[in-house]
Amino acid sequence: MKISKSIYWFFLPGLVLYSLFFLYPTFSALFYSFTDWDGLSTAFQFVGIDNYTRAFTGDSIFQKTIGNNLKFMLTVVVFQTLVALAFALIVIKNTKTNVFLRALYFFPTILSSVSVAFIWAFIYDPSMGILNQVLQLVGLDFLAQNWLGNANIAIYSLAITQIWFHAGQMLIIFVAGLQAIPEELYEVAKIEGASKWQAFRSVTWPLLAPSATIVVAYTTIQSFKAFDLVFAMTGGGPNNSTEIIATYIYDVAFKSYQFGYASSISVIFMVIIALITYLQFKALRSDRVSY
């Protein structure tokens, strides 16, 4: 089939937008990461790899943010994936109830993140919050916590909010993946005498791998970029225990006016996300589905 050359013009708007809003900022960040630019003045100096050296050897808060981000990411990826998968298995059939439940589970996703942050900050409030009050009401006082004020658990409290916020989105991806699995395979498994668990392990899970890969990769990226939720709920506190890389970049750039250094952290951040996503794709091997 011959394609007219004029069709290439249609790439232009997308290419212009992509270059303007992605390529240009990305290369600018890379460029400024080797400078001491303060973000305001026109003058700056090249400082070589000083910013990178500082990030890895002379900035204990940045190192702490990497740890916080990993805790947050692992909690969110594991539990959000499991919750979404479990709920997807429950609502897989297209009954009226299930369609309603899917919409219900998806509902938090359409809320703005700042609204979600305010709702959950209120839920977590140690004195007036509904969570501690319910726990006390059902006799589980010992579980009542200072959810966002305790430096040891605040990051996990944020992770729970993130899971509530985005699990519905992942559920939809899983439902689509589950519905694409041919029914015959389950019939064969049944004839072969496979239990439900064996059918899940040998049929569902391998064929769901492409969906799982998307879910895990997307959840990972999402959890690294959970800036708005963290910013609105804790601002990185207490004692930097919920400071993640994204909020730290903001602090360094816009509160300390060290754009050069913030750019170097952004570049490191980008490399970390790319590396983790690559490793996940390799581990989940989504392209090797076998029957």
> Which residues sit at the interface with other proteins, rule CB under 8 A?
4, 6-7, 9-10, 12-13, 16-17, 20, 38-41, 58-61, 121, 124-128, 146-151, 234-235, 237-240, 250-252, 254-257
**Phi, psi dihedrals of residue 180, rounded to the nearest 5°:** -85, -10
Q: Which helix (H) or strand (E) holds 285?
A: none
By beta-carbon proximity to other proteins, the closer residue of 105 and 124 is 124
By beta-carbon proximity to other proteins, the closer residue of 126 and 210 is 126
By beta-carbon proximity to other proteins, the closer residue of 24 and 100 is 24
**Phi, psi dihedrals of residue 57, rounded to the nearest 5°:** -120, -20
Rounded to the nearest whole angstrom, what is the least distance from the CB of residue 232 to other proteins in the complex? 10
Q: Which two tokens stand for residue 127?
A: 């004195």
Q: Which two tokens stand for residue 75?
A: 């909690």
By beta-carbon proximity to other proteins, the closer residue of 124 and 164 is 124
The Cα 55–Cα 261 span in angstroms is: 8
Rounded to the nearest whole angstrom, what is the least distance from the CB of residue 72 to other proteins in the complex? 18
By beta-carbon proximity to other proteins, the closer residue of 29 and 171 is 29
- SS3 assignment, position 103: helix
The Cα 257–Cα 251 span in angstroms is: 8
Q: Which helix (H) or strand (E) holds 32?
A: helix 24-32
Rounded to the nearest whole angstrom, what is the least distance from the CB of residue 237 to other proteins in the complex? 6
102 closest CA partner among 184, 178, 209: 178
Token pair 């809320």: residue: 111
List the beta bridge partners of residue 46.
35
Q: Which two tokens stand for residue 54?
A: 């500082």
By beta-carbon proximity to other proteins, the closer residue of 39 and 210 is 39
Rounded to the nearest whole angstrom, what is the least distance from the CB of residue 243 to other proteins in the complex? 9
Rounded to the nearest whole angstrom, what is the least distance from the CB of residue 16 to other proteins in the complex? 7
Rounded to the nearest whole angstrom, what is the least distance from the CB of residue 158 to other proteins in the complex? 13
The Cα 144–Cα 146 span in angstroms is: 7
By beta-carbon proximity to other proteins, the closer residue of 54 and 225 is 54
Distances (CA, A) of 204 to 117, 138, 155, 219, 290: 35, 38, 33, 21, 12
Rounded to the nearest whole angstrom, what is the least distance from the CB of residue 240 to other proteins in the complex? 6
